[in-house]
Amino acid sequence: MNENALCWINGTIKPARDASISVFDHGLLYGDGIFEGLRFYHGKTFMLEAHLQRLQRSADAIDLELPYSTQQIGGAIEALVDSYPGDSGYLRLVVTRGAGSLGIDPRKCPQPNLFIIADELAVMDVTDPDRGVSLHVARTLRIPAQCLDPTVKSLNYLNNILARIEANRAGCDEALMLNLAGNVCEGSVDNVFIVSAGVLKTPPLTDGMLEGITRAVVIDVATKAGIVCEQTSLRVSDLQQADECFLSGSGAELIPVRKIGDHQLPPADAPLLPVILQGFRDSIAQYCGKR
């Protein structure tokens, strides 16, 4: 935890180290809750409306009534960002089912809790992410959509954590998660893109991953740049044979991949990632600017 980290919790802003919730909160006991990860630049939160809309969809999916309106939550985020000592950083917005008696019945929790943390974030412990990261193809498969809707950003991340543990043990920076059919799904905390013969490709939502907001921004940026984009099922071999591979996410932003399993990706002759990355930064500047 950074000493400058702040937390807005149920209407009050305080140092994050002083914020707390009950040990009887069902978000802690059972992972019963939802979250969003957001970035702010120059004192403004990037793609705030899209994140709040996804938060509401997640809440509806698990029958959780938000304790504040999305407009009020947006105001809380603005107040927290204004209070944060830096002009750029990361936000973790969490809504828990709230405190209740033991047992998983959501009806035992009369009042949800909402808190927002403002801090720095290092998604992956890499020395130089610009040079690229290594992916471990995890044996832990992504939970299929028939069992758990992947579009819900729930507090239960054990599936992803197990994959990341595999990557840690393999000495890699990130895990690559597959679905039951053996198709590429996503990283443990990010979406996956490749460039093949000048075409940008990413797995379709039907393959069972989170509908990333940064993923949508990348697709929009590439389309405006005249890059052909396809949402199509990918195998590990497709990634290994690609001209380029990179990860996207609110926390990760855009990170190139240099190695997949034991396969090293050679430098691309005419890389498209710099074009996409510049468009992504332009989108941030257009949305957030400086104030």
Task: Give the model confidence (pLDDT) of 55-69 as tens digits.
Answer: 999 999 999 999 999
- Domain assignment present for residue 269? The answer is yes
Q: Are residues 82 and 199 in the same domain?
A: no
Which residues are CB-neighbours of 181 under 8 A, at least 6 positions away?
207, 233
The band of 10, judged by pLDDT with boundaries at 50, 70 and 90, is confident
Residue that terminates a domain, selected from 95, 119, 143: 119
pTM of the predicted protein model? 0.93
162-189 burial, b for 16+ CB within 10 Å, e for fewer? bbbebbeeeebbbbbbbbeeebbbbbbb
Q: Which domain holds residue 167?
A: 129-288
| pLDDT of 130 | 63
DSSP element (H, E) containing 184: strand 184-187
Q: Are residues 159 and 106 in the same domain?
A: no
Q: Are residues 111 and 161 in the same domain?
A: no
3-state secondary structure of 209: coil
Average pLDDT of 58-85?
Answer: 97
Distance CA 56, CA 153 (A): 11
- Domain assignment present for residue 1? The answer is no
Average pLDDT of 254-267?
Answer: 95
Average pLDDT of 183-201?
Answer: 97
CB 29, CB 103: distance < 8 Å: no
Q: Are residues 114 and 142 in the same domain?
A: no
Q: Are residues 63 and 165 in the same domain?
A: no
| pLDDT of 17 | 95
CB 70, CB 48: distance < 8 Å: no
The band of 3, judged by pLDDT with boundaries at 50, 70 and 90, is confident
Residue that terminates a domain, selected from 65, 97, 119: 119
Neighbours of 278 (CB within 10 A): 12
- Domain assignment present for residue 124? The answer is no
Distance CA 68, CA 77 (A): 12
Residue that terminates a domain, selected from 67, 92, 119: 119
Q: Are residues 95 and 230 in the same domain?
A: no
Average pLDDT of 111-124?
Answer: 88
- Domain assignment present for residue 258? The answer is yes
Which pair of tokens denotes residue 111? 């009042």
- pLDDT > 80? residue 154: yes
What rounded mean pLDDT belongs to the chain?
94
Which pair of tokens denotes residue 99? 């405190």
Neighbours of 140 (CB within 10 A): 19
| pLDDT of 289 | 84
Q: Are residues 243 and 272 in the same domain?
A: yes
Q: Are residues 144 and 260 in the same domain?
A: yes
Q: Are residues 133 and 115 in the same domain?
A: no
